[in-house]
Amino acid sequence: MIRVEVVYALPLAQDICSLEVPEGTTVKEAILLSRHAQCDLATHSLAVYGRPAAADTVLREGDRIEILRPLQVDPKQARKRRQSRRRGAR
């Protein structure tokens, strides 16, 4: 058995779930064993310690699985809006 964490970032907090899973467990299997099983993996990105990971990635002792929510705003568009507001304020 290995210990892993499944983390889901909410708008104002993180929800962390610690699990003991058998060796050879994948990211997807660990999520399904956690209290975050209801997350639609088709619309969420996955990462292990901040690095993008596929659902079939095999976990190792101490891994931290992160379920990433979709972006609300395209970062490029947000930057353009900020720049145009700054130019208008001058």
Of residues 37 and 60, more confidently modeled: 60
pTM across the whole model: 0.72
Q: In the chain, what are the domain boundaries?
A: 2-89
Which segment of 44-53, 56-65, 78-87 scores lowest on mean pLDDT?
A: 78-87
What integer is the mean pLDDT of 5-10? 88
Q: What is the dihedral of CA 41, 48, 50, 73, to 10 degrees?
A: 0
Kindly state the average pLDDT of the residues 79-88: 80
Grade residue 88 by pLDDT with cuts at 50, 70 and 90.
low
The whole-number pLDDT of residue 42 equals 80
pLDDT value at 89 more than 70: no
Q: What is the pLDDT of residues 11-49, one digit of tens each?
A: 788 889 999 999 999 999 999 888 877 777 787 889 999
CB contact at 8 A, 27 and 59: yes
Class of the CATH-defined domain 2-89: alpha beta
49: left (phi over 0), alpha (psi -120 to 50) or beta: left
